[in-house]
Structure 1
Amino acid sequence: MIEDWKHFLLPYQQAVDELKIKFRGMRKQFQDLNQHAPIEFVTGRVKPVDSIKEKMIRRHVEEDRLEQDLQDIAGLRIMCQFVEDIYQVVDLLRKRTDMTILEERDYITNAKSSGYRSYHLVIEYPVYLVTGEKKLLVEIQVRTLAMNFWATIEHSLNYKYQDDFPEDLSERLQRAGEAAFKLDTEMSEIREEIQEAQNLFSYGKKDGWSNFENQDHERTDDTP
């Protein structure tokens, strides 16, 4: 029986912290090369103990199988501007040698019936402790800002209805999911125009053309 949850979760927190640094570093490398960065921002978390216990009961997971059967104790979320960026990020992760992808689930081309869209990966990631190497499962979700907005709202409503949405609300959520994806599709179609405008804006800020040059209006990496 796990008596010291803080000690148990410490390696997972280390994994989240290390991966956030690595993914944010990928974004900075694209920026340094004056290229479009497919990563807009990165967040991460370790699942709270109460949520772990609830999921163990719901999924019938025994404590001695916790590290193998619960894939999202450590979770990273990578946000992208465009749908195409998602697949570019996934391709970049496939090429990395510091992690092993064990599972991929494409809920973008195969959206859930609820309207949920995202790209999920489960990786095996090694952390190095004073006691030696420990390999952990980490879930990575890659999605657009529109997908994330929908998922955040749906997640909040789920706390109220516990997966038992009224039919009318469920239908409206599905329509909202389709509308969010249509927004992503439209933005992809004018992607070149958007990126050109963003490049001009960034260049103008560097040369002092913008009235906002002394204000930080760019999204920070720690935006939730």
Structure 2
Amino acid sequence: MANKDWKTFMIPYEQAVEELKVKLRAIRTEYRRKNDYSPIEFITGRVKEISSMLEKANKFEIPHDRLAMELEDIAGIRIMCQFVDDIETVVNILRSRQDMKILYEKDYITNVKPSGYRSYHMIIQYPVNMASGVVNIIAEIQIRTLAMNFWAVTEHSLNYKYKQSIPENIKSKLKEAAESAYQLDQTMLDIKDEIKDAQKLFEVKSAIVSSIMNDILYLMSLNKIQEASRFQSQLNKLIEYGDVSDLNQLHLLVRKEINRFR
């Protein structure tokens, strides 16, 4: 296939990755705008390099005219979650979507790979609207925790360095690290409610601080520099040592001051 043909072949995959990233990030945004906990922490996506694609095709003896049907990860999306049980939530969200068809799933969390690799894979068919019409492409979505992702990226780098033949002593260390990462995920799950409460509190405080800052800037626009400076000094102390009630009280004082000068 000529270079021009390869570029044409890749276009729907590139478009699919961009569309899926936008759609999945919208789920996270929806949760957060409702002040709900989002099971999605962040999302990445990539289209396989042509050289990597051909290397894999040669390894598994896939003819070039069968790549679109048999190479499942030309387009890849990775969804990272904070906690192990978030993965099931995300899987159920994806199962309920109407804009993609799930072809099959691979659970490497319940069925851990011998290397220690853990992740949940979903192979989907996704329709891409091209100028010439709809093209149905196959893509892979990987869902994993941050700890699983850290381990998997490390393993991938070592496989690249050692050309898929990692020395046994390093393999053994990797397996130990995988178990440590799994134990970390389990420990984090045990204190999930505490972590969520702390994150919620942080978000609430951040929102109040942002509102106070906007009001202080408004006071400055009214040329009330002395008042704005006094409130800024109080805010700086409360950011470090204050709680939500202290910040709310300051917010009320700033609003009263603004109303006095309007």
With structure 1 as the length reference, what TM-score do the two structures score?
Answer: 0.92
Corresponding residue for residue 221 of structure 1: none
What is the CA-CA distance between 1:168 and the residue it aligns to? 1.1
Stretches of structure 1 that go unaligned for 5 or more consecutive residues are 212-224
Corresponding residue for residue 88 of structure 2: 87
Corresponding residue for residue 160 of structure 1: 161
What is the CA-CA distance between 1:2 and the residue it aligns to? 5.0
Corresponding residue for residue 151 of structure 1: 152
Corresponding residue for residue 64 of structure 2: 63
What is the CA-CA distance between 1:6 and the residue it aligns to? 1.2
Corresponding residue for residue 216 of structure 1: none
Corresponding residue for residue 23 of structure 2: 22
User: Could you report, residue by residue, the CA deviation over 1:55-84 in whole angstroms, capped at 9, with x for unpaired residues?
Assistant: 111010001111000000000000000011
Two-structure CA RMSD over aligned residues (Å): 1.0
Taking the aligned partners of 1:25 and 1:36, their CA distance within structure 2 comes to: 14
Stretches of structure 2 that go unaligned for 5 or more consecutive residues are 210-237, 241-262
Structure with more helix by fraction: 2
Instruction: Give the secondary structure class of the aligned counterpart of 1:105.
Output: strand
Instruction: Give the secondary structure class of the aligned counterpart of 1:207.
Output: helix
- Is residue 111 of structure 1 aligned with residue 117 of structure 2? no
Taking the aligned partners of 1:105 and 1:47, their CA distance within structure 2 comes to: 20
Structure 2 vs 1, CA of residues 2 and 84 (structure 1 numbering), >3 Å: closer, same or farther? Answer: farther
Write the letter of the residue equivalent to 2:141.
I
Taking the aligned partners of 2:175 and 2:132, their CA distance within structure 1 comes to: 48
What is the CA-CA distance between 1:8 and the residue it aligns to? 0.9
What is the CA-CA distance between 1:103 and the residue it aligns to? 1.1
Structure exhibiting the larger radius of gyration computed from Cα positions: 2
**Alpha-carbon contact 1:83-1:144 (below 8 Å) kept:** yes
What is the CA-CA distance between 1:130 and the residue it aligns to? 0.9
Number of aligned residue pairs: give it. Answer: 211
What is the correspondence of 1:1-224 to structure 2 with a 5 Å cutoff? 1-3=1-3, 4-208=5-209, 210=239
**Alpha-carbon contact 1:106-1:118 (below 8 Å) kept:** yes
Structure 2 vs 1, CA of residues 2 and 126 (structure 1 numbering), >3 Å: closer, same or farther? Answer: farther
Taking the aligned partners of 1:35 and 1:210, their CA distance within structure 2 comes to: 23
Which 4+ runs in 1 deviate beyond 3 A?
none
**Alpha-carbon contact 1:2-1:63 (below 8 Å) kept:** no
With structure 2 as the length reference, what TM-score do the two structures score?
Answer: 0.79
RCO higher in structure (CA 8 A, sep ≥6):
1
Instruction: Give the secondary structure class of the aligned counterpart of 1:125.
Output: strand
Corresponding residue for residue 215 of structure 2: none
**Alpha-carbon contact 1:86-1:142 (below 8 Å) kept:** yes
What is the CA-CA distance between 1:163 and the residue it aligns to? 2.0
Taking the aligned partners of 1:210 and 1:134, their CA distance within structure 2 comes to: 52
Taking the aligned partners of 1:186 and 1:11, their CA distance within structure 2 comes to: 41
Taking the aligned partners of 2:190 and 2:111, their CA distance within structure 1 comes to: 20
Taking the aligned partners of 1:106 and 1:88, their CA distance within structure 2 comes to: 14
